[in-house]
Amino acid sequence: MSKSKNKNEITGDKIISKKNNQAFEDNFDAIFRKRKAEIDEQLAELEVEDFKDNEKE
Full-model pTM:
0.36
Q: Give the whole-angstrom CA distance, residue 27 versus residue 19.
A: 15
Cα dihedral 24, 25, 26, 27 in deg (nearest 10): 50
Nearest Cα neighbor of 12 from 24, 3, 23 is 3
Per-residue pLDDT tens digits of the chain, which is 57 residues long: 455 478 999 999 999 888 888 888 888 877 777 677 788 888 888 888 888 888 876
Position 3 scores a pLDDT of 54
Q: Give the whole-angstrom CA distance, residue 38 versus residue 46.
A: 12
Position 34 scores a pLDDT of 66
Tally of helices (H runs) and strands (E runs) in the chain: 2, 0
Position 20 scores a pLDDT of 87
- 56, amino acid identity: K
